[in-house]
Amino acid sequence: MIKRTLFFGNPAYLSTKHEQLVVRFPEDNKKEAVVAIEDLGYVVLEHPQITITTGLLMKLVQNKTAVITCDKQHMPCGFLQPMVGHTEQTERMRYQLKASVPLKKQLWQQTVVAKVDNQANHLLEQGKKALKLKRWIKEIKSGDPGNIEAISAAYYFQTLFNALDGFSRNQKGVAPNNLLNYGYAILRAVTARALVSSGLLPSVGIFHSNKYNAFCLADDVMEPYRPYVDALVYDMVETGCNIEDLNKNIKTELLKIPALDVVIDGKKSPLMVAMSRTTHSLQECFSGVSRRILYPEFS
């Protein structure tokens, strides 16, 4: 089942009644909107004047709904997750924490191969050259000691947005970096939600290990999914719309990321469902059941 994403960009009062989310707006206290909590996958709270009851937060967390808060720049900055995401959580976390260095290097190799291949296929879809990326894939070794992941990313973005003067991939760079930042933040929340549901710790990565990063594993696993965000942003750039401002229409499009169609294991699936399959396959690698992470194939 595809879960819904709710976005709140105006002052609102959010509460719960009969297992439903109840929305009231200050300008019209008599008017209410009601949504079944079981249908919700993500709730994005952008406006600072949003009031939400603890009763509603409890039910959202129990439903494994990702509650995302935003900062003054309207960028996602916080993510509320349940303390217990799976009945076998303790055992699964133990396997994760005991994962050997060779295993983690092999898993990172698979991740980088999947990411670069998806980047190459996205470039080909847009009629751009991708021979270098296809060649570099063959050079990716266990642990990616040659840092092909970073080299490929630089070439990929330079080629993808070659028509935009002064563009380079930088969080504080010129547009459409703002769109990419927002999209990746949503993708990160999708990934963290799936990891928790699979009983894994989002903070303990297979490659990323920054002690200030609470979502190292999420940042690892989301890598092959980034080209889907890139494709969505690229299409918006091509329409000629104003990309300098993260307006409501652009955010509405980016909030469709969890429901984007992707192909995984030869079958079409919503991205959020595919991500759950990916995190489940990762858990099986940690526990010794499998040696392969299941990633989507961009087509």
Using pLDDT thresholds of 50, 70 and 90, give the confidence band for residue 28: confident
Which residue, 162, 102, 83, 175, is CA-closest to 128?
162
Residue 85: predicted pLDDT: 76
This prediction has a pTM of 0.92
Over the stretch 130-168, which tens digit does the pLDDT of each residue have? 999 999 999 999 999 999 999 999 999 999 999 999 899
Q: Could you tell me which residues come within 8 angstroms of residue 131 by beta carbon, excluding any fewer than 6 positions away? A: none
Residue 1: predicted pLDDT: 66
pLDDT of 18 > 80? The answer is yes
Domains and CATH numbers, the chain: 4-80 (3.100.10.20), 89-287 (1.20.120.920)
Alpha helices in 147-225 (DSSP H): 148-160, 177-197, 216-221
Contact 252, 185 (CB under 8 A): no
pLDDT of 30 > 70? The answer is no
DSSP symbol at 2: P
Phi, psi of 37 (to 5 degrees): -65, -35
Give me the chain's average pLDDT, please.
94
Tokens, residue 31: 């008017």
Residue 47 known to bind ligand: no
Distance CA 140, CA 147 (A): 8
Distance CA 178, CA 237 (A): 12
Residue 19 known to bind ligand: no
- Ranges 2-11, 81-90, 99-108, most confident: 99-108
Residue 149 known to bind ligand: yes
Contact 111, 220 (CB under 8 A): yes
Choice among 80-94, 211-225, 232-246 with the minimum mean pLDDT:
80-94
Residue 82: predicted pLDDT: 81
Residue 220: predicted pLDDT: 98
Using pLDDT thresholds of 50, 70 and 90, give the confidence band for residue 2: confident
Do the bridges between strand 40-45 and strand 28-36 make them parallel or antiparallel, or are there none, so unpaired? unpaired
Distance CA 17, CA 37 (A): 10
pLDDT of 270 > 70? The answer is yes
Tokens, residue 172: 């504080």
Using pLDDT thresholds of 50, 70 and 90, give the confidence band for residue 59: very high
